């Protein structure tokens, strides 16, 4: 990767011009569209003066002009002026010959340290804070912006007044960019898209690992990894283009700067905790305590002091962080020496992170001029770490699947034992009593197992709180202690709910085992399946690949409710048509979108989407509910069931399920079903 980047850097590029003694000639460079130019180089510099554009003509001609290399800072040595090293004010001037008379142009103006006024051709077009000649009247502000203007000539005069009394760095520490209006705006919009994708990716990595920790507190390193992700996402949002200022325009500058420093200073002690838990046998506890307490001490100083003091902590903290990184490399090398799983992967991601971190230190201290890369370095590292953590969790799922297969084998062995006991009982009549008692003991144990299986199934099918979006009622009639029908209702988010209904093969322990396997797979893939058909695809592939010997085939359906968009999404594998009743009583069929689970490899299930509104009713059911209405004609049986449901259109919610059960029994002329029967009744509230 390093060699590749080195070769890319050797490719010939169109070198942009720079300012020379207050004049920048860029006609040939800006002639081609889609080009932007950083106004870097030597600007005219008037230290200790705030000169308006109209006053330039009255300056003495004998005055010797000074020049200032932009980007740069006027801060003097800390040893000379202490905490006032960056205080001061000055005026900067630049003449830009662009040759674009009559073409709309724009300036991308970053924050200056720490207040500025910007004039174009004598007109004030932008300002941040209050530019003043004293601390008492000056006011700092960070608000990057784009300034659009219409040049009347082929040459534009730019005047920049800057003052600083609140930061260790004073002056134009960042460079202004000039270009056509469309190019500047497109570049800015691309930066927003890039940053928001970065923020969203890192933030959701953090939220995902928080849920991992919530469900498995035996692995606390996932919690500290999640906190680090959230801090990094917050820092991207606060720094750079200062999106937090656009969201909260009245946020005080001091609070904004404290948030910027704290989001950086907190990363080191929190990430050190993650690395310490990950490589605990190799990471010295004393070193960890040193990193933790010194890092929090930096944060405390930021909280209780003013910006003119704590901004001087940035360079010492960067050195402190680099020392911690060097020790981390030492820890990882020891782990690699002992062939610790995942250590090489961690070293790769951490090396990218440190390289980007060093690059940003050099850029922020104006030693080199290149793009800031720390956010992308952190994203790469965190993405690799997420893969590492996910791989560890997947091993746990594989072990659970193996245990389920082993339990199935045990069940088959138990069944063989029962058959042998029955044969012996028939052939050895003289030992009937003894064998009967022995068999009864075995049956009692099976009964206990059945009751345990029933309680397990009831626990995993417990309905969550679905208020205020839904009301759910249930008709569940297994013909045995444990039936083959299984359902789950899962709240993915506060506004997003998922319903699953399947019909496993058999009854009793066999059905319980299959149900638990289905429930385990449902929980595993539900975290990654964004849509119902994706969930059916993953489950189908799982049971086709890993459970082929068990020959587990079952119909299933998945329905998602998205109340942000007010839609339901539905996918069915080998099930009969379900019913969506609008609030006006009209029916919509939710048709099957694929074959039963486990029968075809790599099958991509279809998906149905439908708008929902308050008062709509959805009926999800298995075939055992209606097949006995007409055992010779399944289509007619479904029609009969739909008529029964139609008759409940005017009934209140609580009376619908009892009414359906009564009408079905009347039509079947019996009081119970021959097969497991399930009906999930949902009303949109």
Instruction: Assign 453 a pLDDT band (cuts: 50, 70, 90).
Output: low
Alpha helix (H) residue ranges in 100-180: none
The CATH class for the domain spanning 452-684 reads alpha beta
Give the count of beta carbons closer than 10 Å to the beta carbon of residue 428: 11
**Whole-number Å distance between alpha carbons of 305 and 298:** 11
Nearest to 176, CA basis, from 106, 87, 241: 106
Nearest to 248, CA basis, from 403, 142, 98, 103: 142
Instruction: Assign 406 a pLDDT band (cuts: 50, 70, 90).
Output: confident
Give the count of beta carbons closer than 10 Å to the beta carbon of residue 265: 24
pLDDT tens column, 214-230: 887 887 888 888 888 88
DSSP β-bridge partners for residue 109: 145
The per-residue pLDDT for 623 is 84
- DSSP one-letter string for 302-329: HHHS-HHHHGGGHHHHHHHHHHHHHHHH
Nearest to 199, CA basis, from 151, 136, 244: 244
Nearest to 680, CA basis, from 535, 557, 566: 557
Q: CB pairs under 8 A, 24+ apart, for 293-301?
A: 293/269, 294/320, 295/265, 295/266, 295/268, 295/269, 295/320, 296/269, 298/265, 299/262, 299/265, 299/266
Whole-number average pLDDT of the chain: 84
Give the count of beta carbons closer than 10 Å to the beta carbon of residue 73: 19
Asked if the model's pLDDT at residue 473 lies above 60, the reply is yes
Nearest to 381, CA basis, from 359, 352, 341, 344: 352
Domain 185-393: which CATH number of 1.10.10, 3.30.160, 1.20.1070, 1.10.3470: 1.20.1070
**Whole-number Å distance between alpha carbons of 96 and 178:** 10
pLDDT tens column, 312-348: 888 898 889 889 888 988 888 888 888 877 778 778 7
Show me where the domains of the chain are located: 2-180, 185-393, 395-444, 452-684
- Burial of 186 (C-beta count, 10 Å sphere; 0-12/13-18/19+): middle
The per-residue pLDDT for 13 is 59
pLDDT tens column, 19-55: 999 999 999 888 888 889 999 999 999 998 999 888 8
φ/ψ of residue 552, rounded to 5 = -95, 110
- Tracing tokens 């440190």 back to the chain, one arrives at 354
In 56-170 the beta strands, taken as DSSP E runs, fall at: 66-70, 88-97, 105-109, 115-120, 123-128, 145-149, 155-164
Residue 281 CA to its chain's centroid (Å): 31
The per-residue pLDDT for 106 is 94
Structure token pair of residue 468: 């205020």
Which homologous superfamily is 2-180 in? Galactose-binding domain-like (2.60.120.260)
The per-residue pLDDT for 5 is 60
- DSSP one-letter string for 630-645: -TT-HHHHHHHHHHHH
Structure letter (DSSP) for residue 585: S
**Whole-number Å distance between alpha carbons of 102 and 151:** 6
**Whole-number Å distance between alpha carbons of 562 and 513:** 31
Q: Strand 41-47 to strand 66-70: parallel, antiparallel, or no bridges (unpaired)?
A: antiparallel
The distance between the two most distant Cα atoms of the chain, rounded to a whole number of Å, is: 131
DSSP β-bridge partners for residue 31: none
Asked if the model's pLDDT at residue 126 lies above 90, the reply is yes
- Burial of 342 (C-beta count, 10 Å sphere; 0-12/13-18/19+): middle
For residues 173 and 72, is the Cβ–Cβ distance under 8 A? yes
Q: Which residues contact 91 (CB under 8 A, 6 or more apart)?
A: 45, 46, 49, 50, 51, 159, 160, 161, 162
For residues 37 and 133, is the Cβ–Cβ distance under 8 A? no
Q: Which residues contact 178 (CB under 8 A, 6 or more apart)?
A: 26, 30, 36, 37, 38, 39, 96, 98, 105, 106, 107, 184
């Amino acid at each position: 990767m390093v060699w590749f980047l080195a070769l890319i850097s050797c490719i010939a590029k169109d070198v942009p011009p720079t300012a020379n003694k207050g004049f920048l000639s860029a006609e040939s460079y800006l002639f081609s569209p889609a080009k932007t130019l950083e106004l870097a180089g030597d600007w005219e510099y008037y230290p200790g003066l705030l000169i308006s554009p109209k006053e330039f003509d009255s300056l003495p001609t004998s005055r010797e002009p000074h020049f200032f290399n932009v980007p740069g800072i006027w801060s003097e040595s800390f040893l000379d002026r202490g905490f006032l090293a960056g205080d001061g004010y000055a005026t900067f001037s630049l003449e830009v010959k662009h040759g674009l008379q009559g073409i709309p142009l724009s300036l991308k103006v970053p924050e200056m340290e720490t207040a500025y006024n910007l004039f174009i051709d004598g007109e004030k077009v932008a300002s941040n804070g209050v530019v003043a000649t004293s601390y008492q009247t000056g006011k700092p502000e960070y608000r990057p912006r784009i300034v659009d203007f219409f040049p009347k000539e082929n040459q534009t005069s730019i005047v920049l007044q800057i003052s600083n009394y609140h930061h260790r760095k004073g002056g134009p520490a960042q460079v202004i960019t000039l270009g056509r209006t469309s190019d500047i705006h497109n570049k800015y919009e691309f930066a927003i898209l890039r940053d928001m994708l970065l923020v969203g990716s890192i933030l959701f990595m953090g939220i995902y690992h928080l849920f991992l920790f919530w469900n498995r507190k035996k692995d606390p390193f996932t919690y500290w990894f999640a906190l680090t992700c959230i801090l990094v996402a917050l820092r991207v949002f606060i720094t750079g283009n200062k999106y937090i200022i656009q969201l909260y325009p009245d946020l005080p500058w001091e609070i904004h700067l404290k948030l910027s420093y704290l989001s950086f200073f907190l990363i080191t002690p929190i990430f050190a905790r993650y690395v310490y838990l990950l490589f605990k046998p190799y990471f010295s506890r004393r070193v960890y305590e040193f990193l933790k307490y010194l890092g929090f001490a930096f944060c405390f100083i930021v909280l209780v002091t003013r910006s003119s003091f704590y901004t001087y902590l940035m360079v010492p903290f960067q050195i402190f962080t680099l020392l911690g990184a060097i020790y981390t490399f030492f820890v990882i090398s020891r782990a690699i020496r002992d062939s610790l799983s995942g250590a090489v992967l961690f070293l790769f991601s951490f090396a990218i992170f440190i390289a980007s971190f060093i690059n940003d230190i050099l850029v922020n201290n104006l030693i080199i001029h290149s793009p800031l890369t720390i956010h992308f370095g952190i994203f790469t590292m965190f993405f690799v770490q997420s893969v590492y953590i996910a791989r560890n969790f997947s091993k746990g799922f594989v072990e659970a699947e193996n245990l389920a297969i082993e339990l199935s084998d045990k069940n088959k062995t138990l069944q063989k034992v029962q058959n042998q006991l029955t044969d012996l009982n028939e052939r050895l009549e003289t030992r009937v009593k003894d064998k009967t008692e022995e068999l009864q003991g075995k049956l009692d144990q099976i009964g206990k197992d059945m009751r345990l299986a029933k309680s397990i199934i009831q626990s995993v099918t417990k309905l969550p709180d679905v208020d205020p979006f839904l009301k759910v009622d249930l008709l569940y009639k297994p013909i045995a202690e444990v039936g083959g029908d299984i359902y789950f209702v899962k709240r993915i988010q506060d506004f997003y709910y998922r319903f699953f209904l399947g019909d496993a093969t058999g009854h009793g322990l066999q059905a319980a085992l299959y149900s638990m396997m289905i429930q385990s797979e449902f929980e595993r893939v539900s975290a990654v399946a964004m849509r119902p058909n994706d969930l059916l695809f993953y489950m189908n592939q799982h049971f086709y690949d890993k459970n082929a010997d068990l020959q587990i085939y079952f119909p299933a359906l998945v329905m998602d409710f998205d109340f942000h968009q007010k839609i339901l999404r539905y996918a069915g594998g080998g099930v009969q048509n379900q019913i969506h009743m609008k609030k006006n009583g009209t029916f919509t069929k939710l048709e099957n979108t694929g074959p039963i689970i486990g029968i075809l490899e790599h099958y991509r299930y279809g998906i149905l989407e439908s708008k929902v509104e308050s008062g709509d009713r959805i009926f999800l059911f298995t075939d055992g509910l209606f097949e006995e209405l007409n055992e010779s004609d399944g289509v007619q049986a479904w029609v009969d069931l739909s008529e029964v449901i139609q008759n409940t259109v005017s009934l209140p919610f609580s009376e619908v399920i009892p009414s359906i059960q009564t009408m079905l029994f009347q039509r079947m002329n019996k009081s119970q079903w021959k097969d497991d029967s399930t009906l999930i009744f949902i009303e949109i509230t």
